[in-house]
Amino acid sequence: MLLQIVQYGEKVLHETGKPVTKFDAELAELFENMVDTMYEAEGIGLAAQQVGLPLMFCVVDLNGCDPDFDYTLDGAKPPFDLFMPMAIANPKVELIKSKELAYEEGCLSFPEIRGDVERTDWIRCEFQDLQGNPHVIEANGLLGRCIQHEVDHLNGILFIDRMKKRVLKKIQPQVNQLKAKTLQNLKKATR
Ligand SMILES: [Zn+2]
C-alpha cells in the first residue's frame, strides 16, 4: 500500500521518534508499505516521520545506484542485494573520523529542492532489523550519507538544518514556498 509522504511544513518532521519495541507483523507491514512508497517516489531512503509516524524506523535501498562506496555488515561483506531493502530500527550512528564531503542531497519531503550538505564520509551504525536482531553496519560514500540523512529524520533533523548558510540562502525562497503550500493544504484538509 502506498503511504502519503509528509511535506516540509508539517510538525511531525521535527519530532524525535519513539523507540521500536514491537517487532511484529504490524512493523513488517509498515516496512512493506514504506518500501513501496519509497520506490514509487524514486527515493533511496524513507523515514517513519515522512509517513507521519514519529518512530525510530527507516528504510534504505541503494540497489541500482552507482556502487561507489564501501561497507561491512556485522564484520563481513555480503552481496548488496542480499540485505537491500534494509529495515533500520533504533539506529545509533557514530561518525568515524574521516573527511567531510559536500554532496548535493534531495529529500522526498522537499520535492525538487536540492542543496549541498557536508557530512562525514565514514559512519558506524548499530541498529535492529525487522525481527529485532542487532546488527552493525559500517559504510562510506552514498550509503553512509543516506543512513546519516535518514537517521537525522528519526531525530527530527532535516537536511536543510545541516546546510551551510550560503547554500540554504539560495534555496530559502523555494523552502518557504513549500512550507506555505503545505500549511495551506493542511488547512483545506481540516476544513
Ligand atoms: Zn529526507
Q: Among residues of the chain, what percentage have pLDDT more than 90?
A: 93
Look up 26 and say whether it is catalytic: no
Ligand 1 mean position to 160 CA, how many Å? 10
- Other CB atoms within 10 A of residue 37 CB: 20
State which residues form the domain around 25: 11-190
Report pLDDT digits (tens) over 60-101.
Answer: 999 988 888 999 999 999 998 899 999 999 999 999 988 899
What's residue 99's pLDDT? 85
Confirm whether 115 is domain-assigned: yes
Please give the average per-residue pLDDT across 169-185, as a whole number. Answer: 97
Ligand 1 mean position to 173 CA, how many Å? 19
Q: Is the pLDDT of residue 191 over 80?
A: no
Ligand 1 mean position to 45 CA, how many Å? 7
Ligand 1 mean position to 59 CA, how many Å? 11
8 Å CB contact between 88 and 130? no
Which residue carries 517487532 as its cell? 23
Confirm whether 162 is domain-assigned: yes
Confirm whether 16 is domain-assigned: yes
Q: Where are the beta strands (DSSP E) in the chain?
A: 45-47, 57-60, 71-73, 86-105, 115-128, 134-139
Mean pLDDT of the chain: 96
Q: How many domains does the chain have?
A: 1
Confirm whether 5 is domain-assigned: no
What is the pTM assigned to this prediction? Answer: 0.96
Q: Label residue 124 by pLDDT band (50, 70, 90).
A: very high
Q: Which of 10, 105, 138, 150 is catalytic?
A: 150
Which CATH number goes with the domain that contains 91? Answer: 3.90.45.10
Whether omega for the bond prior to residue 85 falls within 30 degrees of 0, making it cis, is yes
